[in-house]
Amino acid sequence: MPVPVREKLRAIRDDLGSQARVARALGVSPSRVSRWLKTEDPDPENRRKVEALEFVLAYLVSFLHPDVAVDWLNGHNAFLRNFRPIDYLARGRIEQVIQAARAFKAGSFH
């Protein structure tokens, strides 16, 4: 059974530490995240971003401590031309972030 987006958002908020960080990762306002956590559902584009962020976080914590995974998302990344993975996710560039995470796991692009 699919996990409701509200539960995914709660888990992401817990991993990232705040609604503001979730909002920044998704490229939306903190009040929007608050509404999604309470009553509203995200539109299809933002639902996709939530699912992508959840997917990337789950992949990262499969080999990193959650705090290190969050640091990786917020750090500049050589594989992404020194942009931050979290910013790429906010722009919907999910595949590039997954490739960067795989490269990091393989020992490239620290």
Specify the pLDDT at position 8.
94
Average pLDDT per consecutive 10 residues, the chain (110 residues; last block may be shorter): 88 89 88 95 90 92 88 93 91 92 84
Model confidence, pTM: 0.82
The token duo for 10 is 């709660």
Specify the pLDDT at position 109.
56
Please report, to the nearest 10 degrees, the dihedral formed by the alpha carbons of residues 9, 59, 51, 54 taken in order.
Answer: 10
Contacts of residue 101, defined as CB under 8 A and 6 or more positions apart, other chains included, come to 56, 59, 60, 72, 85
